[in-house]
Structure 1
Amino acid sequence: MAISMPFFPLRNPFSRVLPPSCLQSRIRVRSGLVMRSSHGESVRENARIEGRESNGLELLYDGGYGTHSVIDYLDAATEMIRPDGGPPRWFCPVSCGRPMNGSPLLLFLPGMDGIGLGLILHHKALGKVFEVRCLHIPICDRTSFEGLLEFIEETVKLEHAASPNKPIYLVGDSFGGCLALSIAARNPSIDLLLILSNPARSFDKSCFRPWLPIVEAFPDQLHVMASYLLSFVVGDPIKMGMASVDSGLSPLETLDQLSRNLFSLVPRLVGGFADILPKETLTWKLGQLKSAASYANSHLHAVKAEVLVLASGKDNMLPSRHEAERLWNTLQNCKVRYFKDHGHALLLEDGIHLLSVIKGTNMYRRSRRYDSLSDYLPPTITELKVGNEKNRWFNLGTSPVMFSTLKDGKIVRSLAGIPNEGPVILVGYHMLMGLELAPLSEAFLREKNVLVRGIAHPIIFSEKAESPLQEMFPLDFTKLFGALPVSASNIYRLLSSRSFVLLYPGGAREALHWKVCPFISLGEEYMLFWPDQPEFVRMAAQFGATIVPFGAVGEDDMLQLVLDYNEQMSIPFMRDSIKESNKGITRLRTDVKGEIGNQDLHTPWIVPKIPGRLYYLFGKPIKTRERMEEMRDKEKANAVYLQIKTEIESMISYLKKKREEDPYRGILQRAIYHALCGSNHQVPTFEP
């Protein structure tokens, strides 16, 4: 028996035939369609034309953001809302291309519009790592909420039966969030990951709730006015217009392009809502939304899936901020990311990179369990730009200086002395609060096109680091750029994959250091707190890895430690807070006694100073490949370990002395240089 194929006509450039794995879905074929007999070949041809590779992603690849705009959404919606008499169906956007091998399935469940193009700004990014399918509900369709649940549930069960070890992602936007929660409640045994953008579970508290009787009594002539008001409640037109503004433009050029975007967008936005949600459809959708919210609320206790809630701070349609807090407190496995300056149509606004949010919360996986190496996706060029923009003022204020040591011992201002290929272990001093991390990572990406994988405290990856209104930066960016929980197995696997590993033997004790004496300003800046065990040296030798010691100075010019750990522990309410926050966290170095073994996490009280300058010096690489047999001996490995520690202390002393010769150490001198030469120019420094 022939299997009918669900796809859209050629007039819609945003959708294509589903891949063969979807052909079990019972959806009718529309008349007048192209590529009837192509089946999966059309998908493979699209991927070939786009030049996509299915065996992995390159470092700093193009994530595809900025390719489409809200105007593209309205153009495509105009084509897709034409009555066709068809039922709800799935479609795959052409712009998603073909994902890399082993990619999980992502089902997009739309909001009240039902078009299914709410991810249009994210198609290219998601399409590289997900098999994306979007639900389309025709405007004339009157399938009940329960009917939609059955339709989605059938697809979920079929896909789970075909790939039982793969997760299935449900991305629900507003009304779609209620659908996703309901599906998860009905299928607790299926591995589902829910991403909910301003879910409409709080419909009773929505500004829409009083509209139900009003909309029904509205004359048709006034429906356009209602659509006009609705268009400005749903989203922020300025942020929608900014979504297609080119990055890197000057302020005047940005303003000009935004003005032109708004001039064409706003009239289309108003008219588009009137077409997408005519009076009868809007009345039906509001009633359906009420049913969806009621069903999701009554079944919330049965949701066992991982859930990520994206909440807007300026949602004029729903109380999304409070809803996110309620879900975070109610669900067993829930994370929240809060976007305080965005409106209800979060996924259609500028500055939202959905794939980055998924990656930053460690929710991208291809199997039942997350693997920090095999499931890791490298950062995109867009993520690097966003990270640079987030750190822009810090980098301008500190003007980091990078030195490295060549084979002949000469010190140069660049990273030329560091090997181009791994495995490499960068071993160094951890400044207070890890101030040196972001500039170091950016420098390796910029100069050597190398991703440095940091070994971080497990607390960063635990539930303890989560909060009900957590914003993306900075912890999520630490994960985006490769940080892993500290463990011998993770270091082992990184070295076996020839990676660049960033290691701080001093750990939390060094990064959260104390004062030398209580109640005086002098602190433990530039003191190393290393344990006695040389494990990383022996592990490096096992893989023939190159060890590069480095020192960094500058924290004493930027921060003043006010209350350290000991002083906080002497204050009763602070002591209780520290003890409570450290309950249940993974303890490191439990076999080490004394202050080095004290890994209590706390937040030092600090006061910022007028920014000084950051200086880094990477020492001469130590090649263990030539000394593998020698390093097997514990005493010889310990001698190398002490040598590395001594070299780092010497490099710190060297930088502290040489920075006195830097004519641009002061922020005023650097500000004048930037004003004269531009912020992109490298500020001069001392001669090494």
Structure 2
Amino acid sequence: MFDQHRQLLVGLKSLDSDSFCFYEIGEPLKMAKVGVEAKLIPTQKFEKISSNLTALLPFFSGLPDILPKETLVWKMKLLKSASAYTNSRLHAVKAEVLVLASDKDRLFPSQQEALRLKKLLPNCIVRIFKDNGHALLLEECINLLTVIKGTCKYRHSRRHDFIKDFLPPSMSEYRLVFDDFVGILRFMVCSTMFSTMEDGEIVEGLAGVPDEGPVLLVGYHMLLGMEVSCLAEAFLREKKIMIRGMTHPELFVGNFEKLSTEFNFSDWLKVMGAMPVSPKSLFKALSANSHVLLYPGGAREALHCKGEQYKLFWPNQPEFVRFAAQFGATIVPFGVVGEDDMVQVVLDYHDFIKIPIVKDKIKEAIEDGVHVRDKAQGEVASQEVFIPGMLPKIPGRLYFLFGKPMKLKGRDDLVKNRGGAKEVYLEVKCEVENCIDYLLRKREEDPFRNICNRLMYQTFCSPLHHVPSFKP
């Protein structure tokens, strides 16, 4: 770091003030994009960004007066002295540290320094933002509170509690996730929701799902969990309900989290309410009257092999039924189809494991990963958390059907009666399979299953989530 400081000092002395002000400020375009709404049409976005850039120009021209070259050289000398003092005491820092760095910082080697701190500090988490400059917190799409929530640093005690410490996403976070990150997927698949009323009638929308918790949504886990974002967005839009999803711990404490240095998919899952799957998490979520999303098939379903789409891989233990009965929760089984219209698995785990070089790396990654079902038996006990090779298709459509709610209020006997809990468990599993069969059959009647028909309808008639489907 000292050598880098010396090189920077030499470079500063050779710069004139005007060139340095542009060199220092970072990414002006990203700063100008702050506050520009994603829903604006391109011409309106261009006008807003142009106006913001124009407003920044006086700031650029005034920087040499505020920070002359001599002052900056003096500050860099102070920084050198301070860094020497700090480096000599880093070994004593045991507290948790969150380091944010820019990949395109033209003033300091922020990325290298962040990675260095990660190696030196025992409890250090690093998040590097690839497309941002030196003025990181002044640029587009950077919200400090979002980063703090996504890295589980917002909490009331020493350990993070996924229920007590959860802050619902803000409107800006909601728009960023569902408009920017998964907006293209939502646009392509144009998911449609159906639910079952208490009298057995199937209706369009989510009217059949109870508004009051605790509710346990139990269903089929599509390949890579492609359905989760559409499901969560539909509940937020139609019922103003935040779904608390049970997620594989690998995304929280496994290799995915340890090796990651970017604010990534795992962090956004936490911002949107995901929790590591465990009996403790399910207990807390149901006790808080939440709407909980549970996939009994877990990673085995979400990372299935060729020809295994719409096949359930559930364990034999009916534990979620006993939890639901303990809190008088309502179980809502659901099915979802459309995976086979979106991607095709061409290389699965069994194919990759035949490649000698890849085989050892896969097994090493699996051994180092988090195992959640070591005591389970059968197919669901498989621990091969490995992403299969896929080819995209011309996107079809996602279809959801939520089955008839199963109310367990007053069924305290199921907590100790394993036989009775097993019967309810098999009933839930059978209902999920029936929902899948129903959707596979009825989607053939959808005139807008083809993406071209949907695009035409959206262009002239309706917004994204109002495209009609088959008649239930």
- TM-score when scaled to structure 2? 0.94
The more displaced of 464-473 and 548-557 is 464-473
Q: Who wins on radius of gyration, i.e. which is larger?
A: 1
Residue 227 of structure 1 and its aligned partner are, at CA, apart by: 4.6
Superposed CA deviations along residues 251-278 of structure 1, whole A, max 9, x for unmatched, are 111211221221121122330x234324
Closer, same or farther: CA 207–270 of 1 in aligned 2, 3 Å: farther
CA distance in 2, matches of 1:599, 1:566: 13
Superposed CA deviations along residues 26-72 of structure 1, whole A, max 9, x for unmatched, are xxxxxxxxxxxxxxxxxxxxxxxxxxxxxxxxxxxxxxxxxxxxxxx
- The aligned runs of 1:412-561 (5 Å cut-off) are 412-466=203-257, 470-515=261-306, 523-561=307-345
**Unmatched 5+ residue regions in structure 1?**
1-200, 216-224, 516-522
Residue 630 of structure 1 and its aligned partner are, at CA, apart by: 5.4
1:565 matched to which residue of 2? Answer: 349
Structure 2 residue identity aligned to 1:685: S
- Verify the 8 A CA contact 2:330 2:408 in the aligned structure 1: yes
Match of residue 441, structure 2, among 657, 663, 667: 657
1:239 has 2:30 as partner: yes
1:45 matched to which residue of 2? Answer: none
Superposed CA deviations along residues 201-240 of structure 1, whole A, max 9, x for unmatched, are 577258732146558xxxxxxxxx5055324432212211
2:39 matched to which residue of 1? Answer: 248
Q: Secondary structure at the match of 2:206?
A: coil
2:9 matched to which residue of 1? Answer: 209
1:615 has 2:415 as partner: no
2:364 matched to which residue of 1? Answer: 580
Superposed CA deviations along residues 406-453 of structure 1, whole A, max 9, x for unmatched, are 112111111111111100000000011111111011111111111111
Residue 569 of structure 1 and its aligned partner are, at CA, apart by: 2.1
Structure 2 residue identity aligned to 1:649: E
Superposed CA deviations along residues 87-146 of structure 1, whole A, max 9, x for unmatched, are xxxxxxxxxxxxxxxxxxxxxxxxxxxxxxxxxxxxxxxxxxxxxxxxxxxxxxxxxxxx
CA distance in 1, matches of 2:185, 2:340: 15
Residue 639 of structure 1 and its aligned partner are, at CA, apart by: 0.7
- Verify the 8 A CA contact 1:231 1:270 in the aligned structure 2: no
- Sequence identity percentage: 51
CA distance in 1, matches of 2:358, 2:466: 43
Residue 590 of structure 1 and its aligned partner are, at CA, apart by: 1.8
CA distance in 2, matches of 1:477, 1:562: 29
Closer, same or farther: CA 428–368 of 1 in aligned 2, 3 Å: same
Residue 280 of structure 1 and its aligned partner are, at CA, apart by: 5.1
Structure having the higher helix fraction is 2
Superposed CA deviations along residues 281-320 of structure 1, whole A, max 9, x for unmatched, are 3332121122233333444433333233322222222233
CA distance in 1, matches of 2:372, 2:260: 28
Residue 374 of structure 1 and its aligned partner are, at CA, apart by: 1.6
Q: Secondary structure at the match of 1:466?
A: helix
2:106 matched to which residue of 1? Answer: 316
Superposed CA deviations along residues 558-602 of structure 1, whole A, max 9, x for unmatched, are 111122122222222222112211234332222222322112311
Match of residue 677, structure 1, among 461, 467, 472: 461
Superposed CA deviations along residues 171-199 of structure 1, whole A, max 9, x for unmatched, are xxxxxxxxxxxxxxxxxxxxxxxxxxxxx
1:146 matched to which residue of 2? Answer: none
Q: Secondary structure at the match of 1:583?
A: helix
Q: Secondary structure at the match of 2:411?
A: helix
1:341 has 2:135 as partner: no
1:358 matched to which residue of 2? Answer: 148
1:628 has 2:419 as partner: no
- Verify the 8 A CA contact 1:513 1:524 in the aligned structure 2: yes
Q: Secondary structure at the match of 1:378?
A: coil
- The aligned runs of 1:392-431 (5 Å cut-off) are 392-431=183-222
CA RMSD of aligned residues (A): 2.1
Q: Secondary structure at the match of 1:671?
A: helix
- Verify the 8 A CA contact 2:21 2:64 in the aligned structure 1: no
CA distance in 2, matches of 1:205, 1:439: 48
Of structures 1 and 2, the one scoring higher in RCO (CA 8 A, sep 6+) is 2
- The aligned runs of 1:182-193 (5 Å cut-off) are none
Match of residue 381, structure 2, among 582, 594, 597: 597
Q: Secondary structure at the match of 1:417?
A: coil
Aligned pair count reads 471
CA distance in 1, matches of 2:342, 2:447: 18
Structure 2 residue identity aligned to 1:404: S
